[in-house]
Structure 1
């Protein structure tokens, strides 16, 4: 069974519907690539997926360890390469107050993040710069 149903809406815009939940995502081409930049670009979604996947896997480990990571935040920076046009680097900066968490658990969280399915699925040519500010 398909995961998504998608359609091209014209003007470099797409619509995707997640079939299990009905959640809708719109993409737009970025301004620097003939688009309006009014929504996530497809490459923005790739970068966003990396950060979200890392936190999801850290959440699984945190629950197993009895740690609450609620309040963790992150910023993602996508760096594009010009020729050929593709993602060159994704930078993820995690921020979290972990003062009361055991250093062994912190290391488990960091290791989990780096082995999330998206991180492991990205082409090795895409540099992944991950900063843990905790």
Structure 2
């Protein structure tokens, strides 16, 4: 048995279930692709997963190095291509106001983000633009 299930609900909407926790997530096709745009689209989840994975791996390094991760945020922009319809670019901007880090700590956190499993799984044709505003 897998750890995830997904069910098509109709009207270009799905409901995913994380079996171990019982948590659910809804996806909706975006308005520009015949959907209602009332929930994350599958491609939104893809780009969000990249950001979440980066933050998670950074968090592991931060825990080890005794760095408080509170306040770390990202802004994510997805750029779609038309033919074929696909994610062409992902722009992620990290912001962490009022942070004091050594250059070594910044390098460790940036390297952790860039080498997370989702980042390593992104097709090389997708342009990744990641900005780290680690003050």
Measured against the shorter chain, the TM-score band is over 0.9
* Cα distance in structure 2, aligned partners of 1:59 and 1:9: 35
Counterpart of 1:3 in structure 2 is 3
* Cα distance in structure 2, aligned partners of 1:73 and 1:45: 16
SS in 2 for 1:58: helix
* Cα distance in structure 2, aligned partners of 1:125 and 1:67: 34
- Equivalent residue runs for 1:117-128 within 5 Å: 117-128=117-128
Note if 1:82 corresponds to 2:82. Answer: yes
Deviations 1:40-74 (A, max 9, x none): 00000000000000000000001111111111011
Cα drift, residue 99 of structure 1: 4.3
- What CA RMSD, in Å, does the superposition of the two structures yield over aligned residues? 0.9
Cα drift, residue 100 of structure 1: 2.1
Note if 1:91 corresponds to 2:91. Answer: yes
SS in 2 for 1:49: helix
SS in 1 for 2:5: strand
- Equivalent residue runs for 1:65-76 within 5 Å: 65-76=65-76
TM-score with structure 2 length normalisation? Answer: 0.96
Counterpart of 1:129 in structure 2 is 129
Counterpart of 2:47 in structure 1 is 47
Q: May I ask how many residue pairs the two structures share in their alignment? A: 134
* Cα distance in structure 2, aligned partners of 1:97 and 1:34: 39
TM-score with structure 1 length normalisation? Answer: 0.97
SS in 1 for 2:128: strand
Deviations 1:67-121 (A, max 9, x none): 1111101110000001100000110000003642111011100000000000001
* Cα distance in structure 2, aligned partners of 1:14 and 1:120: 27
Name structure 2 gaps, 5 residues minimum. none
* Cα distance in structure 2, aligned partners of 1:63 and 1:116: 16
Q: Which runs of 4+ in 1 moved over 6 A?
A: none
